[in-house]
Structure formats: C-alpha cells, structure tokens
Amino acid sequence: MNASYKTLEFGMTDAHVGLLTLNRIEVANAINTRMVRELLEFFLHLPEQHGELRCLLVTGAGQKAFCAGGDLKERSTMSVASWAAQHTLMERAIVAMLECPVPIVAAVNGAAYGGGCELALACDFIYAAATARFALTETRLGIIPGAGGTQTLPRAVGTRRAIELICAATPFDANEALTWGLVNRVVQPERLLEEALASARKIAANAPLAVKQAKKSVRVGTQLDMHHGLQFAIEAYNRLVDTADRREGVSAFIEKREPAFTGR
C-alpha cells in the first residue's frame, strides 16, 4: 500500500488475506476527498500491487463507526463544481470495488450511514457487529444515494423494502439487516474481526482462480437472464479445466491431503 495514504490502513493478516481499515476515527471514518482518492487508488491498483491477495476484509477504525458517510463539514465548503468532481471520484471508486477480482468482506463494526452503508453494500458480503446500525439518509439532505445504493440495496433486500428505507431515510439495526438479507452474520462486537477473518481464511484456502471465476459468474450472471447467465458460467468453468490448480485440487482429494494452490 502507498505509504502516503492518510485515511486508510492496509496490512496482510495472513499470507493471502488482507485487512483494509477506514481510518478517520476522529470523524467516525467519514469520507472526505482524500479518502475517496485513496480508495480509488487502492482498488484500481490492488491486483498488481497485491497479487498474493485472495480475500480482502474492509472495516472501520474504532468501535463506534464503520463509516458515517460523506464528510458534510468538508462538503459545506465546496462549490458545486468541487462537489461534482469529488462525486466522480466516488463513482469510480465504487466501480473499482465492485469489479475487484477477489472477494471483499465488510466487517461492519458500528454505524454505516449514507456513503458508509454504500461502501458496505459494494462488498461481496457483510458480517456485522450486534451494535451496528445502517441507513441511507441522503433524501434528508436533498439528494439520493450516489455511490450505488439505489442499485445495491434493492438487490440485497428487495425493491419494496429498499424504496421504503431510502425514501423514508429510516435507520435499521444489524438484526433487521440480517433478517432482510443485507447481512450474512451478526456477531458480538469483540468477535467481529475474528469471525470475519475465519470466513476470509476459508475463501483464501480455496483455489484462487476458481474463487475469482465463481465471484465473476455470480456478479455478472445475476444481471443476465437465466440462459445467458448459464452461458457465462459455463465459459467461466471451462477456463478452469486446464489449470494447475484444478489438477492439484483433484490430486489432493484423491491423496487425502490439503491442496497447495498456486493460482495457476
């Protein structure tokens, strides 16, 4: 990771698992222009800078907030042109997250409001602390969710519930998020990273080429009709047949040992 980053922290927790922390704890990890630039740079360059990475965790610094959304104090001083320029960067950062080849797990440790909720939704799945709260509150500010929330939330919880939550700007807790399908698991705050890491390690232990193709097949396939989704998935499957990892996986199964995948 770029040593000049000021709003993010990144480190490898294992040989193949990374942890990205949103780190503006003094303002509940709110997103300012610098954080947007750093998120964009991180996700754009992730594949070549961290080729060993097989799964990424994203969390917030501290115990109170994952991310409180956009830094409204900074935005209150912006011109319309500056606001639009910042938002263009945010749009690009979210697309870079959605197109990240490795699975991203959000470990939501506290409030995930506005753009913070959208960052969590841009991850592939979410583990949440029991104390976490979520909301897309943009309609109270005279705008709408602008970092993908109008698209990612209905895909997680359904159209009718998403319209209610967005238009009413209604906060909801971790257990509601679990019931509605936005969150995969709710755990006690002190166990959040441990549980999320355990899941990430399971992913990282599997064949990395297969994991990437599986993620892509789900992401792309769910945007297509069933016929074209199946075609895409079969093509992704066929790309894996003539790989060293496929041969290693079969050999390890027959020999009753753990596979040693190399990503080739």
Q: DSSP string covering 172-204, please?
A: EEHHHHHHHTS-SEEE-GGGHHHHHHHHHHHHH
**146 and 226 belong to one structural domain:** no
| Residue 118 is among the residues annotated as catalytic for this protein | yes
**123 and 188 belong to one structural domain:** yes
**133 and 49 belong to one structural domain:** yes
- Read off the amino acid at residue 143: I
Contact residues for 129 (Cβ-Cβ < 8 A; gap 6+): 108, 109, 110, 174, 186, 187, 188, 189, 192
- What six digits make up the tokens of 10? 């990144």
Handedness of CA 164, 142, 121, 101 (dihedral sign): positive
Q: What is the pLDDT of residue 232?
A: 93
According to DSSP, residue 112 is labeled E
**189 and 219 belong to one structural domain:** no
pTM: 0.92
- Point out the catalytic residue in the list 38, 41, 118, 176: 118
Q: What is the pLDDT of residue 73?
A: 86
Contact 150, 166 (CB under 8 A): yes
- Point out the catalytic residue in the list 38, 41, 138, 176: 138
**54 and 152 belong to one structural domain:** yes
**182 and 213 belong to one structural domain:** no
**174 and 229 belong to one structural domain:** no
For the chain, the domain total comes to 2
261 in a structural domain: no
259 in a structural domain: no
264 in a structural domain: no
| Residue 195 is among the residues annotated as catalytic for this protein | no
3 in a structural domain: no
Question: Residue 194 sits in a domain of what CATH number?
Answer: 3.90.226.10
φ, ψ of residue 222 in degrees (nearest 5): -70, -10
Q: What is the pLDDT of residue 1?
A: 46
Rounded to whole angstroms, the Cα distance separating 213 from 236 reads 6
pLDDT averaged over 10-residue windows placed end to end, the chain, 264 residues: 81 95 96 95 90 95 94 86 90 95 97 97 98 96 94 96 96 97 97 97 96 94 93 93 92 92 91
**78 and 159 belong to one structural domain:** yes
Q: What is the pLDDT of residue 47?
A: 85
> Which residues share a beta bridge with 34?
none
Contact residues for 162 (Cβ-Cβ < 8 A; gap 6+): 150, 153, 154, 156
**157 and 230 belong to one structural domain:** no
Q: Provide the domain limits for residue 245.
A: 208-254
79 in a structural domain: yes
24 in a structural domain: yes
Plot region of 142 (φ>0 → left; ψ -120 to 50 → alpha; else → beta): left
260 in a structural domain: no
According to DSSP, residue 119 is labeled H
